[in-house]
Structure 1
Amino acid sequence: MDPHEIEDTSDWLGCPTELQTCRHFLRMYENEVQELTLQMRKAREDIFGLVQMHADVSKERDQLRAELNRARAALSDVRRNTTEIETKSNWELMAMNKRVSELYDKIQHLTGEDPRLKLPRS
């Protein structure tokens, strides 16, 4: 195509020049960069907040784990004490039963009657 056949539109009203078009795109890019910068700043703040929340929750988790371990240790102590008390009680009951049995035998030997067969008087 011959360059003389192309219509020159530079003097038309409302048609931007090449410089004006470049300036317009430059402003658009500047605005886009500013918007992206704001979004990035917001994202960084959000990330920092999430990191802080994670640190706080991790600290609380560690405290709760320590408290749980202390509670488990206390429970273990209580169970050990309970077992010792039950064992002692069982030994004492067996000793009393043996003594009662010995006394029954002694009463039977002395009286000739079995005290276990007598019913209490009402």
Structure 2
Amino acid sequence: MNSYEIEDTSDWLGSPTELETCQQYMLMLENEVQELTLQLRKAREDIFGLVQMNGQLSNEKSKLKIELGTANTQIERLHTKTSEMDIQVRSLLLIKDQRDHLLRQMGIHNDIKTSEHHPST
């Protein structure tokens, strides 16, 4: 095929020139850069929000840790107090059992039971 037989289509209607094609490609790249810039801005805002949330959660965690320590201290104190009271109750029950045993030996157990149920006024 000879070069004079190749049809030159550059001047056809509707076919973009090389400059027009480059300009169109440049516009597409500009639009893409603008979209990526918007996405980047949104991502930065999201990151900033997450950093703020993380700071708030860290503060709240610290406060709750202190409250937990205080609650654990109070629980330990109450546990100790309960143990002491349990020892006292056991001692009183032992004394009561000894008293009941002595009263039974003395034969006056029924009189005491009656007066316990009906205290004198």
- Other-structure match for 1:111: none
Letter in 2 for 1:76: E
Q: How big is the shift at 1:68?
A: 1.5
- Other-structure match for 1:15: 15
Aligned residues: 115
Matched, 1:116 2:109: yes
* Local SS of the residue matching 1:71: helix
- Other-structure match for 1:56: 56
What TM-score do the two structures reach when normalised by structure 2? Answer: 0.74
- Which aligned pairs between 1:32-71 and structure 2 lie closer than 5 A? 32-71=32-71
Superposition RMSD on alpha carbons, in Å? Answer: 2.9
Tell me: higher relative CO, structure 1 or 2? Use CA pairs within 8 A at least 6 residues apart. Answer: 1
Contact 2:10 / 2:17 at 8 angstroms: preserved in 1? yes
Q: How big is the shift at 1:93?
A: 4.4
* Local SS of the residue matching 2:83: helix
Contact 2:100 / 2:109 at 8 angstroms: preserved in 1? no
Structure 2 runs not aligned, ≥5 long: none
Q: What are the superposed Cα offsets for residues 41-80 of structure 1, whole Å, 9 maximum, x if unpaired?
A: 1112112212221221222122212211211110110110
**Percentage of pairs with the same residue:** 44
Supply the distance in 2 between the matched residues of 1:87 and 1:74 (Cα, whole angstroms): 20
Letter in 2 for 1:115: I
- Which aligned pairs between 1:75-90 and structure 2 lie closer than 5 A? 75-90=75-90
Structure 1 runs not aligned, ≥5 long: 109-113
